Amino acid sequence: MPTTRTNATGAIITGWGSALPERIVTNDDLAATLDTTDEWITTRTGIRERRIGGSTTELSVASARRALEIAGRSPEDIDALVLATTTPDRLVPASSAGVQAQLGLSCGAFDINAACSGFVYALVTGHGLIALGAERVLVIGTDTLSRITDWDDRGTAPLFADGSAAVVLESAANGGQLLGWDLDADGSAEHFLYAELGGFIQMDGKEVFRRAVRIMVDSAQKSLSHAGISADDLALVVPHQANIRIIEAACERLGVTMDRTAITIDRTGNTSSASIPLALAEALDQGRVRYGDHILLVGFGAGMTAASAVLRWGGQDHD
């Protein structure tokens, strides 16, 4: 069972940043070319508009620059770059290579593809690198799903969009922020949500919905149990933004009221690896998180992956 080893060096998030493409596509824009309506999309998904455009590399560089600025760190301070993405700009090399070069980093850089669970996978990996001696790790979640979405398919086109968010993770003497974590996958369910190389996203929406609620709740409960806290102790839940009804159903089962949940889906749609860090960055910018608060990050995605992490903001010994 994965637990955070108390003798390992912990980490805290010291900077965060987001980047969204400028172009806004509303539900009415989609309804102009698809057999759908604003009313259907809003009530079935919670999405009102989404941002479309940019490359995974461009968006990653923009969000990472902001995160470095808030952390007060320079490119040379970073010991490793982990980029979570399902939509790299090329097959080879990893998109993190271009991001590393454009940011002027001189450190190892690699991509992680765990679909919409990717950012939490990357965050846990970043904590692992710090436990092994790295001082500072840049963790980015970026996706440009518009490039693998069939804009003539009303079953998927309203859902998927583009965006990026990043955090700077630094080693901390005070035990660090990660109290519990869980990474899951069930590859036997991969056919419910996939895209072939060069193809568009194919999805059994109903089956994904059903599984999503269950695996999010399972993963969250594992992380809460490893952290030794209950859902009542959470100040904020930052869920993957795929469908507001999935979030509501999962939060209800966890016993978390929606006012303790970070929601961006109405404006961003499903940005996959970017979705959780975008919602976290917005909550931080809005001052919704205080030192000592317990936060749950929880996501699910193709694979079918699930991932969650319980953080104590500022570190375990922070007042």
Show which residues are catalytic: 116, 240, 270
**Which of 40, 110, 151, 200 is the binder for ligand COA (CB under 6 A)?**
40
Nearer to ligand COA, 34 or 235 (CB): 34
Q: How far is CA 80 from CA 20, 60, 68, 106, 166, in A?
A: 24, 15, 13, 8, 13
Rg of the chain (C-alpha set): 18
Cβ-contact 82, 113 below 8 angstroms: no
Of 2-10, 139-147, 198-206, 285-293, which part binds ligand COA (CB under 6 A)?
A: 198-206
Taking CB under 6 A as the rule, which mask of x and - marks residues 109-148 in contact with ligand COA? -------x--------------------------------
Only one of the segments 37-45, 121-129, 225-233, 283-291 lies at the binding site for ligand COA (rule: CB under 6 A); that segment is 37-45
Q: Looking at 154, 214, 253, 288, which residue binds ligand COA (CB under 6 A)? A: 154
User: Which residues are CB-contacts of 42 (< 8 A; sequence separation ≥ 6)?
Assistant: 27, 48
CA distance linking residue 67 with residue 169, whole number of Å: 10
Q: Pick from 190, 149, 296: which is nearest to 237 by CA? A: 296
Q: Which residue from 65, 205, 218, 253 is in contact with ligand COA, where contact means CB under 6 A?
A: 205
Segment contacting ligand COA by CB under 6 A, of 8-16, 38-46, 85-93, 97-105: 38-46
Residue placing its CB nearer to ligand COA in the complex, 43 or 174: 43
**Residues 211-230, interacting with ligand COA (CB under 6 A):** 212
Task: Please identify which residue in 14, 18, 36, 63 interacts with ligand COA, judged by CB under 6 A.
Answer: 36
Joined together, the tokens standing for residue 275 give 């979705």
Instruction: Select the residue whose beta carbon is closest to ligand COA and give its number.
Output: 205
Q: How many residues bind ligand COA (CB under 6 A)?
A: 21
Helices (H) and strands (E) in the chain, counts: 9, 13
CA–CA gap between residue 213 and residue 203 (Å, rounded): 16
Nearer to ligand COA, 71 or 212 (CB): 212
Question: Measured from the CB atom, is 40 or 200 closer to ligand COA?
Answer: 40
Q: Structure tokens of 237? A: 């839940």
**Is residue 210 a contact point for ligand COA (CB under 6 A)?**
no
Q: Tell the smallest beta-carbon distance from residue 80 to ligand COA (Å).
A: 27
For helices 205-227 and 244-254, angle between their N-to-C axes, nearest 10 degrees:
40
- Binding window for ligand COA (CB under 6 A); candidates: 39-47, 75-83, 94-102, 106-114: 39-47
Torsion of CA 195, 199, 205, 210, to 10 degrees: 0
The nearest distance, CB 258 to ligand COA, in angstroms, is: 17
51 or 226, CB closer to ligand COA? 51
Q: Greatest CA span in the chain, whole angstroms?
A: 58
* 8-state DSSP, 273: G
Taking CB under 6 A as the criterion, the residue among 29, 42, 44, 292 binding ligand COA is 44
Cβ(318)–Cβ(312) under 8 Å? Answer: yes
| Site for ligand COA contains 85 (CB under 6 A) | no
Annotate 142-208 with DSSP letters as a single string. Answer: EEEGGGGS-TT-TTTTTTB-EEEEEEEEEEETT--SEEEEEEEE-GGGGGGEE--TTS--EE-HHHH
| Contact set with ligand COA (CB under 6 A) | 36, 40-41, 44-45, 116, 154-155, 158-159, 193, 203, 205-206, 208-209, 212, 242-243, 270, 301
